[in-house]
Amino acid sequence: MKKLAALFILTFLVGVTNAGVIIIEGKYQNKNLFVQNFFGNSGVGFCAQEIKVNGKITTDETNSSAFEIDLSALQLKFGDKVTIEIIHKDGCLPKVLNVDDLKPKPTFEILAINISEEGLLKWTAKNESGSLPYVIETFKWNKWIPVGEVNGIGSPENHDYAFKVVMHSGMNKYRVKQKGSDDLPRYSKDVSVNSSTQKPSFAVSKNKSIDFSNETAYEVYDAYGVVVKKGFGKNVGIDNLKKGTYYLCYDNHVTEFSK
For the segment 87-107, what is each residue's pLDDT rounded down to a tens digit?
Answer: 999 889 999 999 988 988 899
120 lies in a domain?
yes
For the segment 116-142, what is each residue's pLDDT rounded down to a tens digit?
Answer: 999 999 999 999 988 899 999 999 999
Specify whether 120 is located in the same domain as 174: yes
Q: What is the DSSP code string of 108-130?
A: -EEEEEEE-TT-EEEEEEE---S
For the segment 210-247, what is each residue's pLDDT rounded down to a tens digit?
Answer: 999 999 999 999 999 999 999 999 999 999 999 999 99
Specify whether 88 is located in the same domain as 130: no
- Supply the pLDDT for residue 105: 86
Q: What is the DSSP code string of 58-100?
A: -----SSSEEEE-GGGGTPPTT-EEEEEEEEETT---EETTGG
**108 residue type, one letter:** F
Among 56, 75, 102, give the residue marking a domain's end: 102
The parent domain of residue 189 ranges over 109-195
Distance CA 221, CA 20 (A): 54
Specify whether 180 is located in the same domain as 214: no
The CATH number linked to 146 is 2.60.40.10
- Supply the pLDDT for residue 164: 97
Among 180, 195, 210, give the residue marking a domain's end: 195
